[in-house]
Amino acid sequence: APLVFSGMQPTGSLHLGNYLGAMVNWIEMQKTHSCIYCVVDLHAITVWQEPAELRHAIRQVTATYIAAGLDPKKSILFNQSQVSAHAELAWIFNCVARLGWLNRMTQFKEKAGKDREQASVGLYAYPNLMAADILAYRATHVPVGEDQKQHLELARDIAQKFNNDFNKEIVAAGFEDGIFFPLPEPVITGPATRVMSLRDGTKKMSKSDPSDLSRINMTDDADTIAKKIQKAKTDPEPLPSDEEGFEGRPEAENLVGIYAALSGQPVADVLKEYGGQQFSSFKKALAEVATEKVGRIGAEAAKLMGDPAEIDRILADGSARARAVTEPVMAKVKDIVGFIRS
């Protein structure tokens, strides 16, 4: 049966890119699929996190998920470090994945920066942990933004290599088609699979961008959102009247794309309405839709943050349900690999 898995890092508060790129699909898929959604705290520490801030961010991300429409009764919602299968399977995958595969990962190159010698080993092995996140549940569908496409391909390669390397044991364990791990499919759909920085239309909107003006956080209030949109980089030309007019104008394309996604309209319709107008009037309309959507989610998340013990309880409950799924998978994995267990 299809099973959905996805996660986000508690490296700060979530932003509009996380929301439009992935979370909108998470919420939608709950209607038709069994879903498991994770706050990936083990991933977060691949770069330094202040412990008190990490603890706060785990709760904040959880609250934002719920405020955006994730139903913790229906879906499994938990934080990664409470389910040991993630780290255990990641180790096994460290021994399945090849150095050459990881050397090709562009996100590591971007995040490690120039001083690669100083990057953590965890940052390098990050994609193996991500493969473990998905495959510990033998999940089949992974709703993510565009930027995660390469990591998903690696997860498929790992699943395939594990199935091949251990074919004999997998068949002996009763999987006659030799498929123990399914090859997980990326679900990269929706109107905004790659939301760009408000300060630079060629860079993706990101939690780790040093400029807070580059992103709209899901915790921003109406004034902050309006200010960030007003300050968003644009060019001096009026809005184009069709999508071809975006050529060489990444900032214009990004702002119109965000507006279209938030208002649930095709980009062409937005351009029909605003084509030929100045950015000043368009930005007012954009601030309004953004405030409406983000403001509602932010306010609800803030309310939930008033009761951290309840958030911790939800995560504990989700973790217990997650462990119930991973335990039989890990028992099989250990048998297949040749470990002894009691």
Q: Is 204 in the site for ligand AQP (CB under 6 A)?
A: yes
| Number of residues forming the site for ligand AQP (CB under 6 A) | 19
* Least distance to ligand AQP, CB of residue 16, Å: 8
Using CB under 6 A, which of 141, 156, 207, 228 touches ligand AQP? 207
Query: CA-CA distances (angstroms) from residue 293 to 13, 219, 338?
Result: 16, 11, 51
Which of 111, 203, 233, 334 is catalytic? The answer is 111
Q: Is 21 in the site for ligand AQP (CB under 6 A)?
A: yes
Q: Decide: 329 and 137 in contact? Cβ < 8 Å.
A: yes
* Least distance to ligand AQP, CB of residue 132, Å: 15
Smaller CB separation from ligand AQP, 208 or 230? 208
Residues 6 or more apart whose CB falls under 8 angstroms from that of 34 comprise 1, 2, 3, 4, 75
Q: Is 194 in the site for ligand AQP (CB under 6 A)?
A: yes
Would you state the structure tokens that stand for residue 69, as one six-digit string? 């429409």
Residue 207 in marked binding region? yes
Q: Is 206 in the site for ligand AQP (CB under 6 A)?
A: yes
- Report helix, strand or coil for 134: helix
Residue 10 in marked binding region? yes
Q: Is 22 in the site for ligand AQP (CB under 6 A)?
A: yes
Q: Is 262 in the site for ligand AQP (CB under 6 A)?
A: no
* Least distance to ligand AQP, CB of residue 3, Å: 17
* Least distance to ligand AQP, CB of residue 339, Å: 30
* Least distance to ligand AQP, CB of residue 76, Å: 17
Angle, alpha carbons 291-294-296 (nearest 5°): 90
Q: Helices 279-305 and 267-274: crossing angle, nearest 10°?
A: 130
Phi, psi of 25 (to 5 degrees): -70, -35
The secondary structure element, H or E, covering residue 185 is: strand 185-187
Q: If you write DSSP's letter for every residue of 242-277 in order, what string do you get?
A: SGGGGTT-HHHHHHHHHHHHHHT--HHHHHHHHTTS
**Is 204 an active-site residue?**
yes
Smaller CB separation from ligand AQP, 147 or 251? 147
Q: Is 148 in the site for ligand AQP (CB under 6 A)?
A: yes
Angle, alpha carbons 332-334-340 (nearest 5°): 120
Smaller CB separation from ligand AQP, 57 or 159? 57
Distance CA 188, CA 172 (A): 35
**Is 332 an active-site residue?**
no
Q: Is 218 in the site for ligand AQP (CB under 6 A)?
A: no
User: What is the number of alpha carbons within 13 Å of residue 279 lying toward its C-beta?
Assistant: 16
Residue 195 in marked binding region? yes
Which residues are known binding-site members for L-tryptophan?
133
Active site residues: 111, 204, 207
Residues that bind ligand AQP (CB under 6 A): 8-9, 11, 17-18, 21-22, 144-145, 147-148, 193-195, 204-208
